Structure 1
Amino acid sequence: MAIRLENVGIAVRDLDATIAFFTDLGLTLVGRDTVSGEWADTAVGLDGNHARIALLSTPDGHGRIELFEYLHPDAIETEPTLPNEIGMHRVALAVDDLDAALAVAARHGCHPLRGVATYEDVYRLTYLRGPSGILVMLAEDLRAGRPDG
């Protein structure tokens, strides 16, 4: 049986603000739609399922994120996920310029949880809280410009 990851789905409070955040970071908006009806109820397991959705893709075309803004049933607010909680955790994005990515995130009011770390002179990385409390890891590969990287 062949298998591949299609996308990661994230329910959000404000679809337009979340699209702006991710497209400003460099993802591409593939499409938007509104879904509802019996097929959506069956697939998702919610009666009266009605949501605005958007699909975004990384520039290399391999990673995709599907965003959902629920119109019905009402979205349920939860506490933001902590890095050590069990369950869906974070979206990790590789960037070629961490400082530039952090400047983009700051324009959306999103800042590192604690700061920027360097892992064994291999990665500079940080976690930040994105729109709707989404944990986003940004990582810059420091080997990218080196002859051995």
Structure 2
Amino acid sequence: MATRLDNTGIAVRDLEAAVAFFTDLGLSVLGRDEVSGDWTDTAVGLDGNHAKIALLEAPDGGGRIELFEYIHPEAIETEPTQPNEIGMHRVALAVDDIGDALQIAATHGCVPLRGVANYQDVYKLTYLRGPSGILVMLAQDLTKKR
């Protein structure tokens, strides 16, 4: 059986803010839709499922994120995930220049949790809170020439 990872889905409180954040960091919107009906109730397992969605893709085509904002049932607020909690953890984005990426993130009110780390002169990386509290890791490969 052939399997490939298609996308990672993330529920957000404000779809437009989340799309703006990720597109400003270089992802492209592949499509948008508003979904509801029996098929979504069955697929997702929620009665009356109704959501606005956007599918985004990394520039190299190597990763996709599906963002969705629930219209019904009402979205349930939760505490933001901590880096050491079990479960869905973070979205990691490889960037050419972490300084540039952090400047873009800052325009969305997003700053590193603690700062930028250097991992053995191979990567500069940081975690920040994106829209809806999503943990986002930014990583710059220092072994690649810019």
TM-score exceeds 0.5: yes
- % identical equivalent positions: 77
Secondary structure, aligned partner of 2:46: coil
Q: Name the structure 1 match of 2:10.
A: 10
Offset at residue 76 of structure 1 (A): 0.1
Name the SS for the 1:71 alignment partner: strand
Letter in structure 1 aligned against 2:99: D
* Residues 65-86 of structure 1: CA deviation (Å, up to 9, x unaligned): 0000000000000000000000
Give secondary structure in 2 for the equivalent of 1:139: strand
Offset from partner CA, 1:82-121 (integer Å, 9 cap, x none): 0000000000000010000000000000000000000000
Q: Flag structure 1 segments of 5+ consecutive residues without an equivalent.
A: none
Q: Which consecutive segments of 4 or more residues in structure 1 shift more than 2 A?
A: none
Q: How many residues align?
A: 146
| Corresponding residue of 2:76 | 76
Q: CA deviation at 1:145?
A: 1.3
**Aligned twin of 1:111:** 111
SS at structure 2 position matched to 1:30: strand
Q: Does 1:54 align with 2:49?
A: no
RMSD: 0.8
Q: Displacement of 1:62 after TM fit?
A: 1.4
